[in-house]
Amino acid sequence: MASSSQVTYEKGGSHRAPNLILQDHWFQVPLDYAKPDSHSLRIFAREVVSAKASSEKLPYLIYLQGGPGFESPRPTDEGGWLKKACEKHRVLLLDQRGTGLSSSISAAALSAIGSPSKQAEFLTHFRQDNIVRDCESIRIALKVTQWTVLGQSFGGFCTLTYLSLAPESIKTALITGGLAPVSYGCTADAVYMALYGQVILQNQKYYARFPEDAALVRSIVLHLADSPSLSVPLPSGGVLTPRGLQLLGLSGLGSAGGFERLHYLLERAWDACLPGGPDESGKSRKLSYTFLRGFENWLSFDTNPLYAVLHEAIYCQGEASRWAAQRIREQKHLATKFDAVQAAREDRPVYFTGEMIFPWMFDELAGLRELKEVADILAEKADWGELYRTDVLRENNVPVAACCYYEDMYVDFGLSQGTAAGVKGLRLWVTSEFQHSGIREDGPRVLEKLLALASEQHPLN
CA distance 384 to 377: 13
Active-site residue (options: 153, 321, 416, 437) = 153
Strands 147-152 and 60-64 come out as parallel
Name the phi and psi angles at 242, rounded to 5.
-55, -45
Find the length of the chain.
461
Burial of 62 (0-12, 13-18, 19+ CB in 10 A): buried
List, in order, residues 6 or more apart from 461 with CB less than 8 Å away.
Answer: none
**Catalytic position from the list 37, 347, 383, 391:** 383
In a 13 Å sphere around the CA of 245, the CA atoms on its Cβ side amount to 29
Cβ-based burial of 279 (10 A; exposed 0-12, middle 13-18, buried ≥19): exposed
SS3 assignment, position 158: helix
User: Positive or negative CA dihedral for 329, 333, 337, 339?
Assistant: positive
The letter for the amino acid at 64 is L
Helical H segments across 210-298, by residue range: 212-225, 242-245, 249-252, 258-266, 289-298
Residue 458: Cβ within 10 Å count: 13
Report the distance separating Cα 402 and Cα 404, nearest Å.
6
Nearest to 233 by CA among 168, 160, 308, 292: 292
Q: Is 129 a catalytic residue?
A: no
Separation between Cα atoms, residue 98 and residue 45, nearest integer Å: 13
Catalytic residue at 436? yes
Check whether the bond before 359 is cis (ω within 30° of 0).
no
Which contiguous run of DSSP H or E holds residue 198? Answer: helix 188-209
Which amino acid is located at 166 in the chain?
Answer: A
Cβ neighbours around 77 below 10 Å, total: 11
Q: How far apart are CA 143 and CA 102, in angstroms?
A: 21
Tell me whether residue 153 is one of the annotated catalytic residues.
yes
Q: Which amino acid is at 238?
A: G
DSSP assigned state of 77: S
On whether the CB atoms of residues 64 and 159 are closer than 8 A, the answer is: yes
Q: Is the dihedral of CA 102, 108, 112, 117 positive or negative?
A: positive
Q: Catalytic residue numbers? A: 153, 383, 436
